Structure 1
Amino acid sequence: MKQHTVLYEVKDQTAWITLNRPEVKNALNKEMHEELYDCFQEASQDHEVKVIILQGSGDAFCAGADLKSVSSDSAESFDYGDYLQDTYNRLIVLIDSISKPVIAYLNGVTVGAGLSIALACDYRIADSRAKLALSFLKIGLVPDAGASYFLPRLVGLGKAMELMLGQTVSAEEAFRINLITAIGNPAEYAERLASIPPAAYGLAKQNMKQGFEHSLSEVLDMEVSAQREAGQSQEHKDALLRFLKK
């Protein structure tokens, strides 16, 4: 697995995926997309990994797409739609499908598609100095990489319509409007998540996400199915035994 623009390390059952182009505030080019996809696949399939943390190097999480990587010669004919399908869309679908807890640690500037990727993660933990913005409209583009799907679900349609105008928000404001989960250290949150039975977490995550798209009766049926599977698992039997012994 190449690690030129993205670093990958497993420590204490946590996979740390680090965007590593600090000279451009970790803006995403095609090489980074390929390596990032491979890292998430590796973390998803590694049985030793219980939690995944995505972060940036230097003073930024991610400044979005590296528009300078599109050469001036091809700018006229460049198809943003094709590029999205080849890069961001498959990455977002992969992140969303992972049954393990996925944390985005917003360690600094988080704008454009960088914020979109963070929205696809289960949790967003921000450094107190982090700045967040969707900056697409300012350059005549529309929010992409799943932002149109995840953002209204997190903050509501009205606030999402406001944020899409590109205003920069602080970590404190992001927390107030439910754009992020917490301000602080992602390792502490990861430790808490690592203690949760993984099969039950994956099933619960699936139900929560699908609950937006189904009726109440359908969700109740999904819960029956998930609870039946969870109730037959060894992790439930072990947890129940520990509980009864207290």
Structure 2
Amino acid sequence: MLNDSIVLYEVNNSVATITLNRPQVKNALNTEMHHALFDALEKAKNDKSVSVIVLQGTDGAFCAGADLKSLDIDEIGSFDYGNYLRETYNPLILQLASIEKPTVSYLNGIAVGAGLSIALACDYRVASEDAKLGLGFLKIGLAPDAGASYFLPRLVGLGKAMELALGEVISAKEALQIHLITKIGQPDDFIEQLKHVPKKAFGLTKRNLCQGFEHSLAEVLEMEVSAQRKAGQTPEHKAAIERFVKKK
């Protein structure tokens, strides 16, 4: 894509890097960016040459959330936030959850509101030293959305999620301590590690771990039976076993 596109897309060495590119508003999301981001993720999802998907922002910011300034203040009273969510954030979050390749959000700066929600929907989060993370919904009289209500308590626990919902902005160090992010620093080494994860087994692992919250132990055990049956037939598994036997 051209550098003046609101979402940049690049594939290099099996890594698709998707960059939010509205630096003038700290990469806040408007309707146009939603559609562009959805299309970029869909492209990376279906590209067989892509092993890892990285989502980041430009100019020292990940994403400042929804672009509230793009709304018409005279229409706020009649604006239906529910319909807007169904048309924009909900499809985007469901799409991220359905991707069976590793997804990494690189929080290279501020990540607040729905911007943080999108990061939570990724499999992993890597933050720069100066990153600032927070949910500011209550401060403007709204409830967390874009999947935050689902992902946040699963990552940090209900008590801490209720605290973060109050809107406090936290540092990368604090986010790491509560397991909100995976690591601090540049994501390159971690991405390199993810490139070598068996694709089929990873997709099955992600599906089972996410769905395990809503199923009984007996159901999860059967899910593991199905997943292991599929993973056991992959070339990656057979090659790994051969390497292990030869090494032994």
**TM category, shorter:** over 0.9
Counting only pairs closer than 5 Å after superposition, residues 107-122 of structure 1 correspond to structure 2 as: 107-122=108-123
Amino acid at match of 2:64: A
CA distance, structure 1, for counterparts of residue 197 and residue 5 of structure 2: 33
Structure 2 partner of 1:217: 218
Q: Deviations over 1:135-175 (max 9, x none)?
A: 00000011000000000000000000000000010000000
CA distance, structure 1, for counterparts of residue 44 and residue 7 of structure 2: 13
Percent of counterpart pairs with the same letter?
A: 64
Which residues of structure 2 form unaligned runs of 5+? none
1:67 and 2:65 aligned: no
4+ residue segments displaced more than 3 Å: none
Structure 2 partner of 1:35: 36
CA distance, structure 2, for counterparts of residue 166 and residue 72 of structure 1: 23
Which residues of structure 1 form unaligned runs of 5+? none
CA distance, structure 1, for counterparts of residue 246 and residue 196 of structure 2: 18
C-alpha deviation, 1:76, in angstroms: 2.5
C-alpha deviation, 1:75, in angstroms: 2.4
Amino acid at match of 2:77: E
1:136 and 2:141 aligned: no
CA distance, structure 2, for counterparts of residue 73 and residue 158 of structure 1: 37
C-alpha deviation, 1:72, in angstroms: 2.8
SS in 2 for 1:74: helix
Structure 2 partner of 1:19: 20
CA distance, structure 2, for counterparts of residue 75 and residue 220 of structure 1: 49
Structure 2 partner of 1:146: 147
1:181 and 2:182 aligned: yes
Q: CA RMSD in A?
A: 1.1
1:9 and 2:10 aligned: yes
C-alpha deviation, 1:57, in angstroms: 0.3
Amino acid at match of 1:233: T
Aligned residues: 246
Q: Deviations over 1:74-118 (max 9, x none)?
A: 323211111000000000000001000000000000100000000
C-alpha deviation, 1:27, in angstroms: 0.3
SS in 1 for 2:167: coil
| TM-score w.r.t. length of structure 2 | 0.97
CA distance, structure 2, for counterparts of residue 7 and residue 75 of structure 1: 31
Structure 2 partner of 1:240: 241
| TM-score w.r.t. length of structure 1 | 0.98
Amino acid at match of 1:211: G
